[in-house]
Amino acid sequence: MSIKNYLLLLLFLSVTISQAQIEEQQLDDLIKETLTTFDVPGISVGILKDGNIIYAKGHGVRSLTNKKDMNENTLVGVASNSKGFTCFALAMMIDEGKLNWDDKVRKHIPEFQLHDAWVTEEFTVRDLVTHRSGMGLGAGDLMFFPDGNNFDVNDVISNVKYLEPESSFRSEFAYNNNMFIIAGEVLKRVSGLSWEEFIETKIMKPVGMINSKASYNRVTDQSNIIDAHTRADGEVIQIPHDWSPTANPAGGIMSNVPDMLTWAKFLMNDGVTSEGKRLLSEKQFHELWQLQTPLSVRKNDSYDSNFRGYGLGWFLTDVKGGHKQVYHTGGLMGTVTQFTMIPDLDLAIVVLTNQMVGSAFNTITNTVKDSYLGYENRNWLKNYGDRNTKYITYNDSIKKAVYAKVDLAKKDKSLPKPSQIIGTYTDDWFGNITISNNGKIYSIKCERSPNLQGELLPFNATTFVAKWNNRSYDADVYVHFSFDETGNAIGATMSYIAPITDFSFDFQDLNLKKTN
């Protein structure tokens, strides 16, 4: 084949792939099947191609209580998809000469301190937003998760010094929300605006995101907004919205399909609004999508990827044929979302849901993406559906076995007496946890996060199970006591029972010492 013919063939293939798309009815049917397969009450989906919205619909209901239809305009918490906004805002401050990515954090927050003194002095703004702090997955998230606690941003800044690292500084990726909370405080101090004010006035308004808000509590019109849902004890139930405003820079934004597609169009237009206004310099915009923290790629990767990692507020990878993909997911209690862009195909896919099952958004995103990349039908619905069923069955089997042992432990004569374990236990960053006994049952209560309270059930001579009253948390944990030579408890640690537990329930990071 001549070079000329070869180039013509490549051009033909390129045009064929860019024009291919899943048909509207086919996508409608897929989404409806996804709702059923994963027991999700409502899903809204949007597709942007070549600058045009070619699909924007909601399916199912926004709430199991009011049964109102989910539509494309229904507001959903996009959760960690907010992180891209935080980094964009910081980049705007760099353009204004008020900040640099490699500024030391202590230049802007002098009281900032981490567990290691050298790391404290070397930690930069870039480190805040690239998940390479050395701390473990979700370290310290109990300071804002679940909602109803009394920690604020100053507590977060003050307490991160107690979080012990699990790896050396900048050596490994470990997702961390608290560093983004601190990044939001950096933005506030250099801009003079709160994170919420900055996002709404400096980004959302000029971009044209007319219905979005930077925080749930800033949504004044809640006539078309989801209720959150999750699976609790085998049944999908509605639960209250759950997100602390303290963590808004990590995941507070409320948006909908049209606004998120507007955001995607703006980003894929190199940070230039539809009115032709550039909000970010080409240099800084380019920096956002550069790899900062590498991640491994599986040997048999589904999209033939060669690299994967995290940029500044974005996950980055390449998909079939070397197309760069910029993406993120988000999860709140009762909702998960996914936002995907393939800039060289001018393609964006938004999936917003009101139930905590990521397999639903992966099913839809991958199916749509495949139709543009030229993959044959890979039946993601069945693949993820089977996988999800096995995962739920596996987790349920673990919990069932644990509570079977709890029942048997009632007859265990080696169990400690109440006087040996009741009292107050204190962790340096989380505060007090109280264990009490009324003569019949043990209770456990977290002082600074009072929604975390429940029954403490004997498991064996040294371990109990904390069964939280709020069953939607699905986060029951072991409580492992340590005893002195007299048989009295002197401390405790915790570990989750089932892997389905959200990583933001970072009970494993607590080091409790008995204080009375």
**Tens of pLDDT along 419-430?**
999 999 999 999
Nearest to 114 by CA among 130, 100, 135: 135
* Lookup: tokens for 233: 């004890």
Residue 9 in this model has a pLDDT that exceeds 70: no
What sign results for the dihedral spanned by CA atoms 237, 65, 219, 280? positive
Assign 2 a pLDDT band (cuts: 50, 70, 90): very low
What is the per-residue pLDDT across 445-501, written as a single tens digit (0 to 9) for each?
A: 999 999 999 999 999 999 999 999 999 999 999 999 999 999 999 999 999 999 999
Q: By the 8 A CB rule, do 313 and 88 touch? A: yes
pLDDT band at 5 (very low <50, low <70, confident <90, very high): very low
* Cis peptide upstream of residue 146 (ω within 30 degrees of 0): yes
Alpha helices for 123-277 (secondary structure H): 125-128, 153-159, 178-191, 195-198, 205-207, 248-251, 257-268
* pLDDT digit string, tens, across residues 216-258: 999 999 999 999 999 998 899 999 999 999 999 999 999 999 9
Distances (CA, A) of 384 to 44, 366, 378, 418, 436: 19, 11, 11, 46, 43
Q: Are 238 and 229 in contact (CB under 8 A)?
A: yes
**Residue showing tokens 């239809």:** 69
Instruction: Enter the pTM of the model.
Output: 0.94
H or E segment to which residue 308 belongs: strand 308-310
Residue 139 has pLDDT above 70, yes or no: yes
Give the architecture-level CATH label for domain 22-392.
Answer: 3-Layer(aba) Sandwich (3.40)
Domain 412-514 has CATH 3.40.50.2300: no
- CB count within 10 Å of CB 305 equals 16
Q: Is it the case that residue 152 has pLDDT exceeding 90?
A: yes
Q: pLDDT digits over 273-329, tens only?
A: 999 999 999 999 999 999 999 999 998 899 999 999 999 999 999 999 899 999 999
Give me the sheet containing 293-295, strands edge to edge: 52-60, 42-49, 347-353, 335-342, 323-332, 315-319, 308-310, 293-295
Which pLDDT does position 321 carry in this prediction? 83
pLDDT in tens, 11-67: 434 433 444 589 999 999 999 999 999 999 999 999 999 999 999 999 999 999 999
pLDDT(6) > 50? no
Instruction: Find, among 349, 277, 360, the residue nearest to 81 by Cα.
Output: 349
Place 102 in a pLDDT band, splitting at 50, 70 and 90: very high
Cα–Cα dist 370/378, whole Å? 8
Residue spans of the domains in the chain: they are 22-392, 412-514
On average, the pLDDT of the chain sits at: 95
Q: Which residues on neighbouring strands pair with residue 56, listed in sequence order?
A: 46
Question: Is the confidence at residue 185, as pLDDT, over 70?
Answer: yes
pLDDT at 189: 98
In sequence order, the 6+-apart residues with CB closer than 8 A to the CB of 382 are none
Task: Give the C-alpha separation, 506 to 144, whole Å.
Answer: 11
At residue 21, the pLDDT reads 85
β-strands 431-437, 335-342: how paired?
unpaired
Q: How many CB atoms lie within 10 A of CB 201?
A: 12
Question: Stretch 176-180: mean pLDDT, rounded?
Answer: 98
pLDDT in tens, 343-352: 999 999 999 9
Backbone angles phi, psi at 134, to 5 degrees: 100, -15
**CA separation for the pair 354, 61 (Å, rounded):** 9
The token pair at 334 is 């009762």
**Mean pLDDT across the stretch 145-157?**
97
What local confidence, expressed as pLDDT, does residue 233 receive? 87
